[in-house]
Structure 1
Amino acid sequence: MSRRQSTRRRWIEGWNPEDEVFWNRSGKRVARRNLWLSVLSEHIGFSVWSMWSVLVLFMSPDIGLGFAPGEKFLLVITPTLVGALLRLPYSYAVTRFGGRTWTVFASLLLLVPTASAVHFVQQPGTPLWVFVVIAATAGVGGGNFASSMTNITTFFPQRHQGWALGLNAGGGNLGVAVIQLLGLLVIATAGDTHPSYVAAAYLPLIALVSLLAALRMDNVDAVRATPGTQREAVRHRGTWWISLLYVGTFGSFIGYGFAFGLVLQSQFGSTPLEAASFTFLGPLLGSVARPLGGRMADRWGGARITLLTFMGMAAGTVLLVIASHTRTFSLFVTGFTALFVLSGVGSGSTFKLIPALFGRNAEEAVAAGRDARAEFERSRRLSGAVLGIAGAVGALGGVAINLVFRASYSGPDGSGTPAFVAFLAYYALCMAVVRTVFLRGGRQEPQELDALPKQPSGVR
C-alpha cells in the first residue's frame, strides 16, 4: 500500500515511536490526537458501563420498581461481569480491525443499552429480568477500556507509556464519577422519579464521539497482533502476577464505584439524594489520581508505587471496619474516599509494570545477541496483549467485590464488616506478591527502554 493510500484509508504504516526523529517531527502530534479522542470515547463507555450504579438509586415503589437490595446488587453486578468478559475479545478486535475502526463501532454500540434504559427504566411493573438483560448490554461499555488501552500503548514510546496509559485510563474512569454526578443533578432538580433523564443525556454524546472518532482517529499497522501473541502472553508467568495485582487496584476502583451508593443505603439507610451526594466524589478523585500513579511509576518504578498503594489501601480498609462497627458515617465516607484515590494511583502504577516487564525481557534478549528491532516489536505486542488480559481479570475483581458485598449485607447482621475483612486479606496478599515477585532482592523494573539501541529513523 502506498503512503497516499495509507493516509486516505487512515492506516498509518511503519509506525515507530521509539525513533526520536520520527516522534518529534510528527509522531507526537498524531499520538496525542488519538489519545484525546480515545479518552473521550472510553469516558463515555465507562459512563454507560456504570449507569446502573446510578439507576438503581432511583428504583423504589414510587415509580413502581420496588426491588430488594439483593436484586439491585444483581443489576450492578451484571454489567460488571459482562464488561469483564468482553475485555479480551475487545482487546483482540482492535489488533484485527484497527483502533479507529473499532472505536467507531464500539462507540455506536453504546446506543443499544442507553436507548433501552431510556425506554424501560420508568415503566412501572417492568420485571427484573428485563432490567438484567438491559444491564448486561451495558457491559459493552466496559469492553471499551481494553481496546482503548491496547490501541494507545502502540502510539507512545516506552518512556511515556506510564503517563499516556494513566491519562487514557483515568479519563475513562472519570466516566464513573460523571454519571454519578449527573444522577445527583437529576435528583436535586427533577426529583428521584426520573431516572430516564440520566440515560437520555448520553444519546447525543455517543453520536458525537462516534463521529469524531471516524473523522480524526487513525489505524496504525503496529497495533496488529502476530498469530499466537495472546497465547504467548497467557503462558507468561508475569501476566498472572500483574493480573492479580490489578484485581486489587482496578477491581477495587470499579467494584467500589458500582456499589458505593447501595452500600450507603444498606449500611446507613441513606436516601437516594444522600447517597448520590457522596458517590461521585471517590470515583472523581480516583480517576484524577490514576495518571498521577502512572507518572509516579515512570519516575520511581511501578513496583515501589504499587507496594505503597496497597499499604495505604490496607490502612483505609481498617478505617472502614472501624466505621462499620461504630456506624460512623463521616469516617466511613473518609475511608471509602481514600480507597478510591489509592486504587486510582495503584491502577496507574500496576499497568506500568506491563511494558516495564517486557521491556526488561527485550533488553536481556538484545544483550544475548538477538535483533533489537524484532525484540522491541515483540515486547510492544505482548504488552498490548497483557493489557487486555489484566484488564479483563481486574474487572472480574469488581464483580467479586459486589458479590462479597451482596453476601455480606444479606447476612444476619446486615453489615459490611465481613466484606471489608475479606478485602483487607486480599490487599495483604498483593503486598506479599509485590515484595517477593517484583521487588525481590531490591530489584526494580527498568523505568524506560533507553538501554535498547535506537531504532533506525528510515521507517516513517
Structure 2
Amino acid sequence: MTAPSTTARKGGRWIEQWDPEDTAFWEREGKRIAGRNLAFSVLSEHIGFSIWSLWSVMVLFMGPEYGVDPAGKFFLVAVPTVVGAVLRVPYTFAVARFGGRNWTVVSALLLLLPTAAAATVMHPGTSYTTFLVVAAMTGVGGGNFASSMTNINCFYPLRKKGWALGLNAGGGNIGVPVVQLVALLVIGVAGAGHPRLVLAVYIPLIVIAAVLAALRMDNLAPVRNDTGAAREAARDAHTWIMALLYLGTFGSFIGYSFAFGLVLQNQFDRTPLQAASLTFIGPLLGSLIRPVGGRLADRIGGARVTLWNFAAMAVATLVVVQASVTRSLPVFLAGFIALFVLSGLGNGSTYKMIPGIFQAKAVARGLAGEEAAAYGRRLSGAAMGLIGAAGALGGLAINLAFRQSFQATGSGTPAFCSFLACYALCSVVTWAVYLRRTAPTARTAERTRPEPAYAEV
C-alpha cells in the first residue's frame, strides 16, 4: 500500500490515496490521520449543534415584554429543525464536491451569519416574523452534522465505524447542553435581560474552529462527487427504513433538547433560571452515551441494540406520561432524562447499522475485499445524508406535537402518547426487517449468492 500523499490541490490539503481497510496501512499511519481529522471535525460539529439549538435557549430570555406566547415559542424552536433537516442533504454531497476539510471551514464560517443576526434582533419590540427568519438561519448548524458524518465515515474502516461515528456525533451533540449551560451561566450571573452575552461567547469560538480546521484537517481525493450513489441510495428501501428508525432516536434527542426548557416552564411553572438549570442534563447524558451505543453495536450488532433500545424508550415514555398526569416533577425528570440517555444509545446503534447494511448488500452482490468496502462506503455515505435529514425532521414533529398539545390541553401528555406509538412502531420494524428469522425454502436454497446478514449490522 502506497503511503497517502498530502498535496496542495484545489487550494487545500488533499490525500491522494486512502485505504483504511488495509490493516497494515491503518496501523502505520491511517489511524493517526483519521484521529486528527476526527478531533477537529468534532470541534466544528460541536459548535454547529450549539448554534442550531441556539433558539432553545433564546426563548428562555423572552419574557412577557417580547409578546410571544408558549405556542409561538414552540414554533420558533421548531423552525431551525426543519431548515437543518433540509440542509443536511446538500451538505452531505458538499464533502465530495469541495473536500471534507474545505467544507468544514466553509460550514463553520457560515455559523457567523445566524449568530450575528441573533445579536442584532434579540430585544423586545422585534417582530415575530423577524425572529422566525433569524431562527431559520440557525439551521445551517444542523447541516454541519451530515457533512461531518459523511466525511468521517470515509476515514475509518468498517470495524471501527460504530465507535468513530458515535464519537463524532456524540461530541457534536454535546453542543446542545453546552449552549444551555452557557445560557444558565448568563441568566444566573447577569439575569434574563442579557441574551447577547451568549452570542458573544460563540462568535470567537466559530472563528477558532474554522481556523483549526483549515490548518489541521485533510481532504480525501478518492471521495468523488457521485450523484449516481445518491439516486441509488434513495431507491433502496433500507435507506428509508433506517430513516424511520433514526427519526425515532435522533428525532427524539434533538426534539426533546429543543423543547425541554419550554415544557418545564409551561407544564411545571419553572422560571427561566429554574428551567435552564435542568435542561442541559438530559442532552449532556444523551450526547456522552452515543459513542457507547456505537461501541455496543460494533460488538453485538446494531439491530439488536436498537430493538431493545426502542423497547426501553417506550417504557420511559410511560413513566413520563404517568408523571405528566400526576404533575410529579421528580418522576417526570427521571423519565425524561432516561429518554435522553436511550435516544443517545439508539443514535449510536442506528448509525452503525447504515454502513453494515450496505456492506452486507455488497457481499450479497458477489463483491469482496476492497471492491465490497468501496461499494459500502459509496452507498452508506450517500444514505447518511438522507437518513440524517429524516432524523432531524423528527425533531420538528416533536416540537409541533408539543405546540399542538399545549394549545389544545395545556399539557404535554397527548404529545407523549403519540411518541409512545412511534417507539412501538420502530420496535416492530426493527425486529421484522433486521432480526426476524425465516425458515429456508427450496427457492432460497437454490441461490448461489449469500443473503445480507442484516442481524449482524
Normalising by structure 2, report the TM-score: 0.94
Q: Conserved in 2, the CA contact under 8 Å of 1:49 and 1:140? A: yes
Q: Conserved in 2, the CA contact under 8 Å of 1:154 and 1:222? A: no
Q: Conserved in 1, the CA contact under 8 Å of 2:359 and 2:375? A: no
The more displaced of 372-381 and 50-59 is 372-381
Q: How far off its partner does 1:151 sit?
A: 0.2
- Identity among equivalent positions (%) equals 59
Kindly report which structure 2 residues correspond to 1:137-176, keeping only aligned pairs within 5 A, or say none. 137-176=137-176
Which position in structure 1 is the counterpart of 2:448? none
Q: Distance in 1 between matches of 2:182 and 2:62?
A: 16
Q: How far off its partner does 1:222 sit?
A: 3.0
Which position in structure 2 is the counterpart of 1:100? 101
Which position in structure 2 is the counterpart of 1:439? 435
Task: Report the CA distance shift for 1:268/1:444 in structure 2 as closer, same or farther (over 3 A).
Answer: farther
Which position in structure 2 is the counterpart of 1:17? 20
SS in 1 for 2:174: helix
Q: Distance in 2 between matches of 1:308 and 1:431?
A: 8
SS in 1 for 2:141: helix
Q: Conserved in 2, the CA contact under 8 Å of 1:6 and 1:12? A: no
Task: Report the CA distance shift for 1:5/1:34 in structure 2 as closer, same or farther (over 3 A).
Answer: closer
Q: Distance in 1 between matches of 2:258 and 2:415?
A: 15
SS in 1 for 2:161: helix
Q: Distance in 1 between matches of 2:97 and 2:149?
A: 15
Q: Give per-residue Cα distances to partners, 1:187-215, cap 9 Å, x unaligned.
A: 11111111111111100000000000000
Q: Unaligned regions of 5+ residues in structure 2, if any?
A: 439-451
Q: Distance in 1 between matches of 2:253 and 2:6?
A: 44
Q: Distance in 1 between matches of 2:330 and 2:42?
A: 33
Q: Distance in 2 between matches of 1:440 and 1:364?
A: 18
Q: Distance in 2 between matches of 1:20 and 1:273?
A: 52
Q: Give per-residue Cα distances to partners, 1:305-363, cap 9 Å, x unaligned.
A: 00111011000100111011101011111111000000000000001110110111122
Which position in structure 1 is the counterpart of 2:394? 397
Q: Give per-residue Cα distances to partners, 1:251-295, cap 9 Å, x unaligned.
A: 000000000000111111110011101100000000001000000
SS in 2 for 1:201: helix
Q: How far off its partner does 1:6 sit?
A: 4.8
Q: Conserved in 2, the CA contact under 8 Å of 1:103 and 1:210? A: yes
Q: Distance in 2 between matches of 1:9 and 1:283?
A: 35
Which position in structure 2 is the counterpart of 1:351? 351
Q: Conserved in 1, the CA contact under 8 Å of 2:360 and 2:453? A: no
Q: Conserved in 2, the CA contact under 8 Å of 1:354 and 1:383? A: yes
Q: Conserved in 2, the CA contact under 8 Å of 1:49 and 1:79? A: yes
SS in 2 for 1:243: helix
Q: Conserved in 1, the CA contact under 8 Å of 2:251 and 2:395? A: yes
Q: Conserved in 1, the CA contact under 8 Å of 2:6 and 2:13? A: no
Instruction: Say whether residues 1:328 and 2:328 are aligned partners.
Output: yes
Instruction: Say whether residues 1:421 and 2:424 are aligned partners.
Output: no
Which position in structure 2 is the counterpart of 1:386? 383
Q: Distance in 2 between matches of 1:131 and 1:403?
A: 17
Which position in structure 1 is the counterpart of 2:181? 181
Which position in structure 2 is the counterpart of 1:73? 74
Task: Report the CA distance shift for 1:164/1:5 in structure 2 as closer, same or farther (over 3 A).
Answer: closer
Q: Amino acid of the residue matched to residue 199 of structure 2?
A: A
Which position in structure 2 is the counterpart of 1:260? 260
Task: Report the CA distance shift for 1:384/1:419 in structure 2 as closer, same or farther (over 3 A).
Answer: same
Which position in structure 1 is the counterpart of 2:449? none
Q: How far off its partner does 1:378 sit?
A: 1.6
Kindly report which structure 2 residues correspond to 1:218-367, keeping only aligned pairs within 5 A, or say none. 218-365=218-365
Which position in structure 2 is the counterpart of 1:457? none
Q: Distance in 2 between matches of 1:177 and 1:281?
A: 7
Q: Give per-residue Cα distances to partners, 1:156-212, cap 9 Å, x unaligned.
A: 000000000000000000000000011111111111111111111100000000000
Q: Unaligned regions of 5+ residues in structure 1, if any?
A: 449-460
Q: Amino acid of the residue matched to residue 416 of structure 1?
A: G
Task: Report the CA distance shift for 1:388/1:364 in structure 2 as closer, same or farther (over 3 A).
Answer: same
Q: Amino acid of the residue matched to residue 59 of structure 1?
A: M
Q: Distance in 2 between matches of 1:167 and 1:313?
A: 22
Q: Amino acid of the residue matched to residue 118 of structure 2?
A: A
Q: Distance in 2 between matches of 1:6 and 1:351?
A: 33
Q: Amino acid of the residue matched to residue 18 of structure 2?
A: W
Q: Conserved in 2, the CA contact under 8 Å of 1:359 and 1:446? A: no
Indicate the RMSD between aligned Cα atoms, in angstroms.
Answer: 1.5
Q: How far off its partner does 1:21 sit?
A: 1.2
Q: How far off its partner does 1:440 sit?
A: 1.3
Aligned pair count reads: 440
Q: Conserved in 2, the CA contact under 8 Å of 1:356 and 1:446? A: no
